[in-house]
Amino acid sequence: MKANHKIFNMDNRAQVGIGTLIIFIAMVLVAAVAAAVLIQTSGTLQQKAQSTGKEATQEVSSNLMVKNIEGVRAKNNSTSMANNISLLRMKVGLNVGSSPVDLNQVVISITDGTTTNNLIYANNEQTYDAKMANFSSTVTASTNLNALLNKTQTPPGDNAKFFFTVEKIRDEDGSFTQEKPVMNTGDLVTLYISTVSSGDTGYSKIGSMSVSGLLDSGLVISPRTSVSIVLTPESGAATTADFVTPSSYGTKETVQLYP
């Protein structure tokens, strides 16, 4: 039997020299540059994706939560009261996990079906280049509320038509002040909205607070009135509270309106 002979072609030659070294180094450099570009691009895309996701979450989330709304009628005494609601007390908190909310940047739109008032916080200077007339960051919330109900400036006009004020109920970290009304998770505040109508400006008290010269807010919150309130923060979804006032206020000074 004839044996099989396998013949292998042995090529022991290789490229050597400066030219080959230059080509090798060039290939390594090109690969390194390409890798660096890919890494940088992927990092930038990741950062933009995270930023976009965070902004999208803030826009669709609802930070503010309206707990309840009470209406208060102006009065002279227990038997002489306004026919309409003169002041809204809106208790507001934050949803679980919400980011801090600066009430200085919140816009409240309220309508009675005929008139709409767009209100900003009393210390806000961005819209009218002026704080609410007689507003002070060093006084109590009730003093600023009195100014909301009784004072006017030109421009923009009667405080009641353009501003709202706030009083804190719970603020464990002490972050909330009249000058910087910033709400954190767990905080609870009362927003005051004037709804004094033109026919009810002659009364001398709202709740336990003495007032003089109540100013017309342009709103009329009479019985059987459909009221819509929208709170629009700087970021996040707007919060809406809609309600219909009772068919009669009777002898009640304070009326539960929402929920």
Residues 55, 77, single domain; the answer is no
Evaluate whether residue 2 is within a structural domain: no
Q: In this structure, how many other beta carbons lie within 10 angstroms of the beta carbon of residue 104? A: 18
Q: Per-residue confidence at 116, pLDDT binned at 50, 70, 90?
A: very high
Residues 38, 78, single domain; the answer is no
Has residue 52 got a pLDDT over 80? no
Residues 146, 233, single domain; the answer is yes
Residues 69, 46, single domain; the answer is no
Evaluate whether residue 8 is within a structural domain: no
Evaluate whether residue 181 is within a structural domain: yes
Has residue 6 got a pLDDT over 90? no
Residues 147, 38, single domain; the answer is no
Q: Can you give the pLDDT at residue 38?
A: 84
Has residue 43 got a pLDDT over 80? no
User: Residue 251 class from Cβ within 10 Å (0-12 exposed, 13-18 middle, 19+ buried)?
Assistant: exposed
Residues 223, 161, single domain; the answer is yes
Evaluate whether residue 69 is within a structural domain: yes
Residues 23, 136, single domain; the answer is no
Has residue 175 got a pLDDT over 70? yes
Evaluate whether residue 214 is within a structural domain: yes
Secondary structure class of 107 (helix, strand, coil):
strand
User: Residue 55 class from Cβ within 10 Å (0-12 exposed, 13-18 middle, 19+ buried)?
Assistant: exposed
Residues 128, 195, single domain; the answer is yes
Q: What is the mean pLDDT of residues 131-148?
A: 92
**Nearest Cα residue to 185 out of 195, 202, 170, 203:** 170
Evaluate whether residue 10 is within a structural domain: no
- Quickly list DSSP for 175-193: -B-SSSBEE-TT-EEEEEE
Q: Can you give the pLDDT at residue 242?
A: 96
Residues 47, 154, single domain; the answer is no
Alpha carbons 211 and 162: distance in angstroms, whole number: 19
Evaluate whether residue 166 is within a structural domain: yes
Q: Can you give the pLDDT at residue 37?
A: 83
Evaluate whether residue 6 is within a structural domain: no
Alpha carbons 183 and 240: distance in angstroms, whole number: 18
Residues 47, 164, single domain; the answer is no
Has residue 20 got a pLDDT over 90? no
Q: Can you give the pLDDT at residue 259?
A: 93
Give 213-252 pLDDT, tens digit per residue.
899 999 999 999 999 999 999 888 889 999 999 999 999 9
**Nearest Cα residue to 93 out of 120, 70, 66, 58:** 66
Q: Based on the structure, what is the number of domains in the chain?
A: 2
The residue range of the domain holding 25 is: 15-60
Residues 249, 164, single domain; the answer is yes
| Cβ–Cβ < 8 Å for 95, 86 | no
Residues 33, 71, single domain; the answer is no
When mean pLDDT is compared across 51-60, 117-126, 204-213, the lowest value belongs to 51-60
Looking at per-residue pLDDT, the higher value among 115 and 99 belongs to: 115
**Nearest Cα residue to 65 out of 99, 98, 97, 94:** 94
Alpha carbons 131 and 86: distance in angstroms, whole number: 23
